[in-house]
Amino acid sequence: MEPASDSNLSVPPRGVRRASQLYLFPLEMGGEKVEESRETIPQVWKGVSEKEWNDWRWQLRHRITTLEQLKGIIDLTPEEIGGIKHSKGRLALAVTPYFASLMDPINPNCPIRRQGIPRIEEIHLSKNEMVDPLGEDTHSPVPGLVHRYPDRVLLLVTDQCAVYCRYCTRRRLVGSNERSITQGNFEEVLKYLKSHRKVRDVLLSGGDPLLLENERLEEMLSRLRAIPHIELLRIGTRVPVTLPQRITSGLVRMLKKYHPLMISIHFTHPKEITDQARRACSELADGGIPLGSQTVLLKGINDKPHIMKKLVQELLKIRVRPYYIYQCDLAMGTEHFRTSVATGIQIMEKLRGHTTGYAVPTYVVDAPGGGGKIPLQPDYVVSKGRGKIVLRNYEGKVFEYPEPNIIEFKKTRSTVEEKAVPKKVMA
């Protein structure tokens, strides 16, 4: 267990928030409004102490998992009530009090609410949907391990998350038992990795690896780090967004021992960037951990260029590098979240050249069935001709780029005094 002194002494007290967090505060972005972050403690938790609210274990213990609990916090629509009733036996409902405090109790289209509360559309299955959209199970040599690319593996260390995202691609697994990988399974994973010397990169995911207690997580990291050919450890998490209280100084002290270690955080909407999330990312970044964000493109949530632009710019401000925008996978019951690929490309068109290059992520489709990530971007090539390529820039202006004139050196003699004769050829 972590010492009590780890419990986020630097967390901003609940009463000390920026004005924009006390009220719904629309920001203008190129004439468009984007909802900013706010954290309003619902009445039901008004008596909860500061210490409890900032304790990640308290947050986990008090997750909202039933219709009755949710009813006391937000005005549910018939679509949400139907969705919650039908979520049993499908993807579980669980929302931390913190994440619930970001939800708009009135507006059912609130981006936080859309992500955490099931809707009746989840029971509508499309013919294209799959139980295992990325073919992970067929690339699993050992339970808990997915080995799809030659030099890197995905290690699923737990099926528990702080909040279950309604569009989760791994909904076949997450939330079913809320358990971590067994010791026996983990030993099998280590054995496999020791005998596969090409693997140099291990991504711990799940579920959310940061829901493990420090000791358990450290045991995993230290044993993976002890394998000589494992160069890089990575963690995929949504905890800085859904349970930022989990990012304690004790956790960061432990993680720092296992560098090079990188963390990919699943951010979706600018409204998720609260003071708590800022503090969590700041602690991690101060621990020397490179942070990237992975964002799923979601209809009605972040599928507008001005929202995505706001998100990527806010992420850079908290030292999180926008890494990927994912086209929504074909998980069961998620059709209502999917946008067209053209929407994603249009968003990229509005980012590249229109904001800092560091803020521009790679837009990818994770190929159905397990083909891996395929990058997509607007087509900037107008034409390719002999000796030149015609390109357009972000403003639509057209430019010619001459290809190099290749100088070919040809051996003319095989003596010690070799003479190179340049021969000019066109590309």
Closest by Cα among 379, 220, 271 to 25: 271
Q: Judged by CB under 6 A, does residue 326 bind ligand SF4?
A: no
Minimum distance from residue 162 beta carbon to ligand SF4 (Å): 7
Minimum distance from residue 378 beta carbon to ligand SF4 (Å): 27
Which residues in 333-362 contact ligand SF4 (CB under 6 A)? Answer: none
Rounded Cα gap, residues 16 and 168, in angstroms: 34
Minimum distance from residue 287 beta carbon to ligand SF4 (Å): 21
Nearer to ligand SF4, 298 or 307 (CB): 298
Interface pattern 170-209 for ligand SF4 (x via CB under 6 A): x---x-------------------------------xxx-
Contact 329, 133 (CB under 8 A): yes
Minimum distance from residue 43 beta carbon to ligand SF4 (Å): 27
Q: Judged by CB under 6 A, does residue 134 bind ligand SF4?
A: no
- The DSSP code sequence of 59-73 is HHHT-B-SHHHHHTT
Q: Judged by CB under 6 A, does residue 266 bind ligand SF4?
A: yes
Amino acid at 9: L
Q: How many CB atoms lie within 10 A of CB 419?
A: 10
Q: Judged by CB under 6 A, does residue 165 bind ligand SF4?
A: yes
Question: CB under 6 A: which stretch of 103-111, 157-165, 210-218, 348-356 binds ligand SF4?
Answer: 157-165
Nearer to ligand SF4, 236 or 305 (CB): 236
Minimum distance from residue 168 beta carbon to ligand SF4 (Å): 3
The continuous run of DSSP H or E covering 113 comes out as helix 111-116
**Regarding beta strands 261-265 and 372-376, do their DSSP bridges make them parallel or antiparallel, or are they unpaired?**
unpaired
Please list, in sequence order, all residues whose beta carbon lies within 8 angstroms of the beta carbon of residue 128, skipping any fewer than 6 positions away.
330, 335
Nearer to ligand SF4, 206 or 322 (CB): 206
Closest by Cα among 277, 220, 255, 218 to 96: 277
Residues annotated as catalytic are: 148-149, 152, 161, 165, 168, 170, 329, 366, 373
Of 168, 202, 252, 280, which one interacts with ligand SF4 (CB under 6 A)? Answer: 168
Please list, in sequence order, all residues whose beta carbon lies within 8 angstroms of the beta carbon of residue 123, skipping any fewer than 6 positions away.
83, 86, 90, 333
Omega cis (within 30) before 118: no
Rounded Cα gap, residues 372 and 135, in angstroms: 10
Q: What are phi and psi of 271, to 5 degrees?
A: -65, -15
Interface pattern 274-293 for ligand SF4 (x via CB under 6 A): --------------------
Contact 119, 336 (CB under 8 A): yes
Contact 395, 378 (CB under 8 A): no
Minimum distance from residue 242 beta carbon to ligand SF4 (Å): 7
Interface pattern 17-36 for ligand SF4 (x via CB under 6 A): --------------------
Q: Judged by CB under 6 A, does residue 164 bind ligand SF4?
A: yes
Residues in contact with ligand SF4 by CB under 6 A are 161, 164-165, 168, 170, 174, 206-208, 238, 266
